[in-house]
Structure 1
């Protein structure tokens, strides 16, 4: 791992130009990810980015690192496999609200409860943007689209509550347009020993005219400014996460005693090439995932 002075965030930029719509929140999300990786002393040679499907799925192409563009909802099992095979490298999974909280919801629960030592950044724009504007799992119940003219008529998924109920050791939320704060939160997720989950409000300027930049600027409450919130207190976290009247930014919960999955099972060396005659406990760990 390089020292902070050796690498700049621009080293994580690939030569591929993003094809996101002008003004898309994913630009800010990606910039914060790259800056956080650089600030934590990582570089492209020790970083692996796994993405799913949707607008967010292109992020591995736009970042200069090891990367894999997976299939819908499957970024987390791939990222888990990478981390278990190579516990020495920085692994980051990226996805969207449709990718992560619909078809990928089951994988989300199990990656959280295993406490795999990686970060998971979800670009939540509360809509399916790539397929031209259908309601997503996090869309408001009255959000009108071409396929839900009267709204989905069901409450949106609360990904923070799902993470907390699944045993998450780090739960946070950020806003792509609040550049410095967003970077700071992603950086904390990377530095956390365990599964660092960050839900990012990343507005879709083309298909969502409700959850806009102006809406989040006007409504966000930053927990950093709340002296009463204790991020290490489970009950405090639950109260914030289940508050249906406010949109929060910051770290909701962090377990100070978190022990990552690979450390729990003594996986500390490169397992990407398991030789004949490997210890049976190592083989058992591999069979658990495949």
Structure 2
């Protein structure tokens, strides 16, 4: 868990006096409440917490959190958040972004904050559309998506946020969705991870991409199409009647039936959050033939970027006495003699 002194707070301590302004029915409301309910359970301190966002519907988030907050520029929230964490590693930093902000103009910055492993929680709200700018298709929009910028239908193959995160070296990758009762548990696991924790949160855009996730995220009736992963537990879904196994000939995952709860005989895999190869397979599962993989998919910590920077600074300054005068005089400098000033000579 992030180094901090635990304090007692309630949901009200994390709410601001700002009017929450998203479209009625937007999934962002549910995510906001999930975060505000989770932080007191973590013992977090609003005075030690920072929310950083870019541009988009999701990026209004800092206004609604009674913490420090930065509403920055399009796609650059990871760069700001990295600077904040380097300036004060003790701060608890949460980065809020969307599929357009984080994976289009911000894709390069997202790649670097993940590969560097800067210690923060990164929540990417994925509604598969540009909501704030009136419904253009985004990097995660499905083939055939009709929008103002693709009136006939998108022909782009969509980006897979979790596959992207794993591909650039993220050490924690998880998924949830806006109205899920399990989302707080995913947020807690991300907070406990030391390093960059990437959480893709499927979020319903009520206006421009309504109910696009209903096949697995509808409030009722979609539970059988959700594979909630837990470390050390079998990969079961559909009430335990189905599971995920490995086809050892094709080296790919498959769905198997489970009879009388005997998942071992069916060959169902036990989830291991440190197994990077299986994590890659899970995030690439095609929905339909397979359930949607949710929860903590991968969690294997390594030293963080800010720790490495602090160690490097300590080594560089070891045995040295700070001197601004020496620093200013270092390099190509010279002293102008009195005679040179009077025009009687040249500087040495």
Q: Quickly name the TM-score band, shorter chain normalised.
A: 0.7 to 0.9
CA distance in 1, matches of 2:60, 2:276: 35
Is the 8 Å Cα contact of residues 205 and 211 (structure 2) preserved in structure 1?
A: no
- Report the alpha carbon displacement of residue 203 of structure 1 after superposing the two structures with TM: 0.5
Which is greater in Rg? 2
Q: Which residue of 2 aligns with 1:127?
A: 129
Seen in structure 2, the aligned counterparts of structure 1 residues 146 and 90 have a Cα distance that, compared at 3 Å, is same
Q: What does 1:170-209 correspond to in 2, within 5 Å?
A: 170-179=172-181, 181-209=182-210
Q: What does 1:66-215 correspond to in 2, within 5 Å?
A: 66-179=68-181, 181-213=182-214, 215=216
1:170-226 CA distances to partner (integer Å, 9 max, x unpaired)? 0001111013x1011011111100001101011101111351446523243222362
Is the 8 Å Cα contact of residues 75 and 106 (structure 2) preserved in structure 1?
A: yes
**TM-score, length-normalised on structure 2?**
0.73
CA distance in 1, matches of 2:213, 2:170: 28
CA distance in 1, matches of 2:149, 2:208: 13
Q: What does 1:19-58 correspond to in 2, within 5 Å?
A: 19-58=21-60
- Report the alpha carbon displacement of residue 268 of structure 1 after superposing the two structures with TM: 11
Give the 4+ runs in structure 1 shifted more than 4 A. Answer: 212-215
Does residue 233 (structure 1) correspond to residue 233 (structure 2)? The answer is no
Q: Higher helix fraction: Structure 1 or Structure 2?
A: 1
CA distance in 1, matches of 2:161, 2:53: 18
RMSD over aligned CA atoms reads: 2.0
CA distance in 2, matches of 1:153, 1:115: 33
2:228 to 222, 235, 256: 222
1:49-83 CA distances to partner (integer Å, 9 max, x unpaired)? 00111111111001110001001101110001000
Q: Which stretches in structure 1 are left out of the alignment for 5+ residues? A: 270-275, 279-290
Q: Which residue of 1 aligns with 2:307?
A: 263
**TM-score, length-normalised on structure 1?**
0.87
CA distance in 1, matches of 2:84, 2:40: 20
Q: Secondary structure at the match of 1:60?
A: helix
Which protein has greater RCO, CA pairs closer than 8 Å, 6+ apart?
A: 1
Is the 8 Å Cα contact of residues 216 and 292 (structure 2) preserved in structure 1?
A: no
CA distance in 2, matches of 1:210, 1:154: 21
Which one is further off, 95-104 or 24-33?
Answer: 24-33
CA distance in 1, matches of 2:188, 2:30: 14
CA distance in 1, matches of 2:177, 2:130: 18
Does residue 249 (structure 1) correspond to residue 294 (structure 2)? The answer is yes
Is the 8 Å Cα contact of residues 202 and 213 (structure 2) preserved in structure 1?
A: no
Q: Secondary structure at the match of 2:310?
A: coil
Which one is further off, 240-249 or 54-63?
Answer: 240-249
Is the 8 Å Cα contact of residues 97 and 123 (structure 2) preserved in structure 1?
A: yes
CA distance in 2, matches of 1:63, 1:193: 23
